[in-house]
Amino acid sequence: MRLLNKIYLLLFISLSLGLKAQNYQERQKQLEAQKISIKKEIQQINNLINDSRKKSRGLADELEDIQLKISVRDRLIRINNSQVNNLSNIISNQNERIADLEVDLKKLKDEYSKIVYSSYKKRSSEMKLMFLFASDNINQAFRRLQYFEQYSKYRKEQANKIVSLQEEISNNIDSLDKRKIEKQNVVKENQSVRQTLNQDRIRQNNLYNNLLKDQKNYAVEIQEKEKQARLIDNEIQKLIRLAIAESNNNNNSSNFALTPEGRLISSNFQSNKGRLPWPVREGIITRRFGTQLHPVVRTTTINSNGISIATSANSIAYSVFEGEVLSVYGFSGGNPGVLIRHGKYISNYQNLSSIFVKKGDKVMANDEIGIVFTNESTGKTILKFNIFNELKPENPTIWLAR
């Protein structure tokens, strides 16, 4: 019973170690994918900043750009730190595995040496024949012959196990060496990123100190922009309320009266949460959903019921899902936009310079909606994107594919 318990314990430990090693490997793949994504984001930011440098820009624009770079590099450093920790776990796990394999190898070699010694003592053909002839009957002779064959087979199997185990140890050592080099490379990369980050922070402090002289003026300017943004948001809400009222024959309901087709589109839209395509082919989120400190004037709080995506000049805005164009609008103080209805959900594409659709058009996912507006003075191309569940703004980042 004790022996059986020991066997179960050894099997459990072996299985646990195997699962732990597999988890570390999967975690490493996930971290590497995240790092590739962040590096791509950094490259996009650099490209967008280089494009906008061709235009005359103020201190606030430069400070906003450099803070965006800092936030992304901070994320890269955190990912690298996680990779270093995970690689340390993988290295430790492989060291344990190699140590266990070497113990198993020693046991096999000890057993094999006993087998070889025993075979040496029984090496004589005459001894084998005498052993067979000394049998009491033919059945016993047959069993003794089988014993010799099985013993010979067992000896070969043990030899093969030793060779196989030696190869596994060698492969684990090679893998371990590669992991150690990989860890060293990540550490070096992190040192380089930290140096660049420190330079960015020095630049950030210099810009911020220069900006402090005119902070009051910038704060007033930001408040005016936020006021204008709220006015546009209110106008968009009015358009949605009007559409809800029309669907209900103007009976003051706050919910869409959905047709069977509308319910199906709503359900399909909901089931694609986290998988919707981006409204631009490439872009960086420069303003996130919700209440947040302004990236430049940190004493000012701003609120966003959508996200702002910086993209390259002449970028096309695309529909994120099938639906019907609810409205093509234009308000004082802002550039035109498009509302697309997806059952009870609505997607909004604001700050366009050209529009390719009209009210009532049926669109599919990835259909072209228009061209994103480029600010001639700053060189920035920003798409403002929202998702509404009827009148309630939702965080677009949890709907878009990552």
Please tell me the distance from the alpha carbon of residue 145 to that of residue 73, in angstroms, as a whole number.
73
For residue 359, the model assigns a pLDDT of: 94
Measured between alpha carbons, how far is 24 from 95 in angstroms, rounded to an integer? 14
Q: Report the candidate in 294, 376, 388 with the shortest Cα–Cα distance to residue 341.
A: 388
Q: Is the pLDDT of residue 46 over 70?
A: yes
Task: Determine the Cα–Cα distance for residues 229 and 350; give it in Å rounded to an integer.
Answer: 11
Q: Which of 58-72, 184-198, 326-340 has the lowest mean pLDDT?
A: 58-72
Tell me the two tokens of residue 397.
């980042």
pTM: predicted TM-score of the whole model, two decimal places: 0.65
CA atoms within 13 Å, Cβ hemisphere of 116:
8
Confidence check: pLDDT of 106 > 90: no
182 closest CA partner among 21, 25, 73: 25
Q: What is the percentage of the chain residues whose pLDDT exceeds 70? A: 76
pLDDT of 126 reads 47
The whole-number average pLDDT for the span 300-325 is 91
* 247-256, 282-291, 352-361: least confidently modelled range: 247-256
For residue 218, pLDDT over 60 is answered with: yes
Least confident of 26-40, 48-62, 233-247, 317-331: 48-62
Average of pLDDT values for 3-29?
Answer: 60
Q: Which pLDDT score is estimated for 99?
A: 82
Gap between the terminal Cα atoms of the chain: 53
Rounded distance, CA 248 to CA 372, Å?
34
pLDDT at 376 over 60: yes
Has residue 208 got a pLDDT over 70? Answer: yes
When pLDDT is cut at 50, 70 and 90, the band that residue 52 belongs to is low
| pLDDT at residue 110 is higher than 80 | no
Tens digits of per-residue pLDDT, 114-154?
666 565 555 544 455 555 455 566 666 556 556 655 666 66
pLDDT at residue 119, as a whole number: 57
Strand, helix or coil for residue 391:
coil
Question: What is the helix (H) or strand (E) element at residue 307, kind and residue range?
Answer: strand 307-311
pLDDT for res 3: 43
Percent of the chain clearing pLDDT 90 (strictly above): 29
Return the pLDDT at 8. Answer: 47
With bands split at pLDDT 50, 70 and 90, how would you rate the model's confidence at 215? low
Q: Is the pLDDT of residue 325 over 90?
A: yes
* pLDDT of amino acid 92: 84
Quick count: other Cβ atoms within 10 Å of Cβ 211? 18
Domains and CATH numbers, the chain: 12-207 (1.10.287), 213-398 (2.70.70.10)
285, exposed or middle or buried, with CB in 10 Å at 0-12, 13-18, 19+?
middle
CA angle, residues 390, 237, 233, in degrees to nearest 5: 125
Structure tokens at 366: 């990835």
Tell me the average pLDDT across 164-168: 77
Most confidently modeled range among 1-10, 66-75, 202-211, 335-344: 335-344
Q: In this predicted structure, what is the pLDDT of residue 6? A: 47
**Which distant-in-sequence residues (6+ apart) come within 8 Å of 295 by Cβ?**
63, 64, 67, 68, 287
Region of 249 on the Ramachandran plot (φ > 0 left; ψ -120 to 50 alpha; else beta): left
How many angstroms from the chain centroid is the CA of residue 153?
A: 52
**pLDDT score recorded for residue 59:** 65
Q: Is 76 exposed, middle or buried (0-12, 13-18, 19+ CB in 10 A)?
A: buried
Residue with tokens 């103020």: 58
Distance from chain centroid for Cα 121: 64
Going by pLDDT thresholds of 50, 70 and 90, the confidence category of residue 57 is low
Is the model's pLDDT at 55 over the cut of 70? Answer: no
Average pLDDT, the chain: 80
Of residues 328 and 153, more confidence is placed in 328
Segment 285-294 shows an average pLDDT of: 85
Residue 212 pLDDT class (50, 70, 90 cuts): low
Q: Identify the sign of the CA torsion 162, 164, 169, 173.
A: positive
pLDDT at 118: 61
